[in-house]
Structure 1
Amino acid sequence: MNTVDNTADLLVLRPGDPGYDDELAGFQTGFARRPDVVFAAASAEDVVAAVRYAAERGLPVGVQATGHGLPGAFPGGVLVTTRRMDRVSVAPGARTVRVQAGVRWGQVVAAAEPYGLAPLNGSAPGVGAVSYTLSGGLGILAREFGYAADHVRSLDVVTADGVLRHVTRDSAPDLYWALLGGGHNLGVVTELEIDLVPVRTLYGGSVAFDGRETDPAALLRAYEEWTRTVPDGLTSSFAAVPYPDLPALPPQLRGRYVVSVRVAYTGTDGPEITAPLRELGPVLADSLREMPYAESHTIHSDPDFPHAYYGDSAVLSELDVVRAGELLARVGPDSGGPMCVVQVNHLGGALARPAPNSVPYREGRFLVRLLAAGDREEARALLDPAFTLLADLTLGRALNFAFGAGDRAEGLYDGETLKRLAGLKSSYDPANLFRHNYGVSAAC
């Protein structure tokens, strides 16, 4: 362990140093990065030091906050860990919050709740707010308010020249556009300011069915029909989860194939709109209710423990329920492959509105997400053929849900967006310093 330059308090770790492995640990346990140097940043100045160190030596740079969306192992180079940068500052009058690079969404929800405000967070409170937003940010109220990236006021970012820049839509419109949707391709974002919305409570939860008693494909068809009837402000998803028979699970879930519809809605007519869901089949569990926004993470009840997984997604122009039903069968509990979670998100509404950022495929109607547990190669062998079923309706892939797929950059952006991002990459990072991520190459 040692320091770099004049940053005497900056923790720098190399392989073999005490604390090196602990610093790399995150939510993803299927693989870990093995950088040559880890900069455990506690401030924007630490990030500047890390980027300048890498630039002087021509080393690639990666960033890690919580480790939920790691693109891959990517050995060597420099890794900047940001979990110590965890300051949250709410401005209730302006309805904004400033969050540093290591902040998790649960912290923001808790900080905003006393003011009757809520962030545009996702379903899991342990996910890092900044990386989520830079990749778009598809939240639990997405159809009402759009992507989280659509609500960013400003960003502080360290670019490849080692300069800390304050970026707004007015001060640097091209860089602002590229950062919001472009992930970590043009720099390390140390802090962002983002809107909060005036939401204190919502109507939400899930209606669950036993996927062995009620045909999952039939439930998906009924769900797709129901989405045609709901208002733009209602956000929902369909999920199919085969639970293993493990003692650690609640008895009602052990060994079950649970198919559910999840709902989040701020309107007053939630019970009437969701009533048809209870008619789809024998209900296994029903948690739909009026709830404080601080309890919104219970809608999806995502696992909160680190584990190994691989996943990818397809943004669809429409949902072909016949082929989607075949997909359910191919990756279901009787497929012989690894455990696979299927989620189908209803898009549209505010997500379709144009915004001054690089989040692509706003015309998409549905998003299909597949997440397989365990070994990456076994997962690819199961998931890749499944996505092929939807190929002719697929617009592209969602950066927020490309888990462990850093070797596959194709489809993350449409042609025009990719061309513009590559041009800006040439301007701000011509040496491709920030390449240990879901990469965008500089234009030739």
Structure 2
Amino acid sequence: MPPPSLPFASSAAGQGEGPKSQSFGGIEGTEMTQLTITNIKRPGSDQPESITVEHGVIKGWNLPHEGEVIDGQGGTLAPALTELHAHLREPGQTEKEDLASGLAAAAAGGYGTVVSMPNTSPVVDDPAIVRALIEKAEGLGFARLKPAAALTKGQKGEQLAELAFLKDAGAAMFTDDGRTNENARVLRLGLEYAHSLGMVISVHAEDATLRADGVINEGPVSEALGLPGNPAAAEAARVARDIEIVAQTGARLHVQHLSTARALDLVREAKKRGLPVTCEVCPHHLTLTDEALRSFDAIYKVAPPLRTQADAQHLLAGLLDGTVDCLATDHAPHTRAEKERDLLDAPFGIAYIELAFPLMWTRFGEQLGLEKLLDLMTQAPARVMGWPEPTLEAGTPADLVVLDLQTQRTVNPAEFKSKARFSPWAGEMLRGWPTLTVVNGRVAYRRE
């Protein structure tokens, strides 16, 4: 390990190595056998075709069938989805989720690449933890893991973690998600160092002093229920502060799980100023509102909280006009016992990485269109991260998903790969279910 006196030094690891196979986002492929998927359609086409992959790379379309052949059953082929914000709970919280269950769930949801959050136990602030997570995930054969590392040691917001070493170990981004960055100077220094490393910092944008002990959106519902509220101003005030730090540093900042109309307007204004600010919106903030909390069911308790219908409509408009850069789930599994506590004591979070595409396609497919929705969940996350954008062209990495856009299926949490087998959408009929996910040329999920 490099000496602690050089906490931000660059590493020369990897120099002098031999040729490597093609990569996506810095993860190298491995040798695979040939696989052909037949009876599939490209997005926007009704023409049945086939695609062949070999050694983890797309070989071409409509070639003679060799190796393993899988019938795509008339589904639509797309690049596998990319998730920039998921809590996989390993290490230390594996009663909620672990790499095996979380990455299997991601593959079942059509995801080929998942960025995991570092608010685990211990926190992912050590290069050895990053390497161990990547090594374990590679042996599972599900979705590809790209761990995020903590911006500050222990996510305490006081001292920067060893960012250069974490990057060299394979960290995808830096974030203290799960906690807010209260110290503006530390965030400024972190942005400056991350900028020098060519890395993105993502932030949970809430002013902790305004949020206080709020467990629900502050407004008529919180007042009617007598519950402490979390005001929209908590998010907007923090987004405004962070944008000004970006203006001073020129560094890239990604705002996680944006939930309010005002905060979105601030991001829109920052983009007009030419600032390198991006943001994500989660399907639960688009499809649920604080009215759901009238049930007193903690399954709807999330951070930031479910907002109003007006906020949800504003976020959807942001998707349509391009202000919102991408979709992310903030997949946050907990045990059923934890979510059965009362609203004051239950933890924040909803787990639904397996449902994200079907939920968005069913609710908003007509408004967004297939091309736009796929972009928000494939190419757009890659653009946020500065990764090569996934395509279906020959010679590109074979991360693929086959989607059944027509057949309705009931959401049955008992069938989830995730350990969190309960859902706000249980019993709903959704379309757009993944039937096959291929990661690095290998089958990571196939619906039985």
Q: TM-score, normalised by structure 2?
A: 0.29
Q: TM-score, normalised by structure 1?
A: 0.29
